[in-house]
Amino acid sequence: MGYSGATAPFPAITALPAESLPDDWWDPGWQAAQTPDATGLGTVITEAPEPVTEAEPLPEAPAPSWGRVLASTFSLWAERHLSWLPRTSWRVAAMSVIGAGLVAMCVGTAGVAVAALSPAATVPMPAKPKPIPAPSGATVLPASMATAAGPAKPTWLSVPALGIRTSLIDLGITKSGTLQVPATTTVAGWFTGGPRPGAVGAAVIAGHVDSRTGVGIFFWLRTLRPGDRIYVGRADGTMAVFTVTNVEMYAKDKFPTSAVYGSVPDAELRLITCGGVFDRSTGSYLSNVVVFARMTG
């Protein structure tokens, strides 16, 4: 039945006979009416439950060390394969294995560090040659005798400060217009397109810095200093003496051709080789080392 109006009373509730109630039915008011002398059902006090708080997370167990992992692994292996040995022997063997591993690791780490820091990890620098005595036994022409016609053809070169004593070969111009280089790294060559050493002008002698097999005749050329002497012997038995004035390095794409090969009023000498950074993609150096010297004796 639905509720039809605000003034309409609720229908009266008719008490049900006790015998018609189910066995599990119970109502406090009904119980009080049936037993008026009862002191009451009493007061039931229900304590409020304690507020539930989130449990603090347990601290994470630290990760086992690699030493413990190794020991446990070895122990499990020993239980299967070395069951005839007492457990004390397993522990001794496990400690021995761990100790050997530590030693091997330390030795390996030290080896890697030494290899990385040692100069031997790269190509070792060859020892600089010891200086040699200045050549003698040839007639030295003074610088004042330098002429445009030029002296005899040069045949050998000596640089005592670098321990160099080499014969000279003839060098020309390649098809691409560049200076030829000697076919071997053990000798230097004189550029036949320029003045002869001792004639007025800038004579040019070139040599290799190194090769796949080792250092070249001019490997130490960059270490020359102003004041060092250079000797050039000639086919007529005379010798021209030059004194270094400066040593320069030029990028090959910015090579000062006029300063190296251009005309000068005196008898001068240029020693040329490669230097600077080595470009592995092209198999050549990116720069040139040029020694400038003036005839002084």
pLDDT tens-digit series, residues 10-19: 444 455 555 5
pLDDT band at 28 (very low <50, low <70, confident <90, very high): low
* pLDDT (0 to 100) of residue 251: 96
State the average pLDDT over residues 262-279. Answer: 95
* pLDDT (0 to 100) of residue 27: 61
State the average pLDDT over residues 69-89. Answer: 65
**pTM (2 decimals)?**
0.60
> DSSP string of the chain?
-----SSSPPPP-PPPPGGGS-TT---HHHHHHH-TTS--S-PPP-PPPPPP-PPPPPPPPPPPPHHHHHHHHHHHHHHHH-TTS-HHHHHHHHHHHHHHHHHHHHHHHHHHHHHHHSGGGSPPPPPPPPP-PPP-SSEEPPGGG--SS--SPEEEEEEGGGTEEEEEEEE-B-TTSPBP--SSTT-EEEETTSPPBTBSEEEEEE--SEETTEE-TTTTGGG--TT-EEEEEETTSEEEEEEEEEEEEEEGGG--HHHHHS--SSEEEEEEEEEEEEETTTTEEEEEEEEEEEE--
Name the fold adopted by 139-295.
Sortase; Chain: A; (2.40.260)
Top-confidence range, 62-76, 126-140, 205-219: 205-219
* pLDDT (0 to 100) of residue 34: 60
pLDDT of residue 191 exceeding 80: yes
pLDDT of residue 99 exceeding 50: yes
Give whole-number Cα distances, 43 to 39, 229, 231, in Å: 11, 123, 128
pLDDT tens-digit series, residues 236-252: 999 999 999 999 999 99
pLDDT band at 44 (very low <50, low <70, confident <90, very high): very low
* pLDDT (0 to 100) of residue 15: 52
State the average pLDDT over residues 129-135. Answer: 92
Q: 5 or 61, which is more confident?
A: 61
* pLDDT (0 to 100) of residue 220: 97
pLDDT of residue 120 exceeding 50: no
pLDDT of residue 101 exceeding 90: no
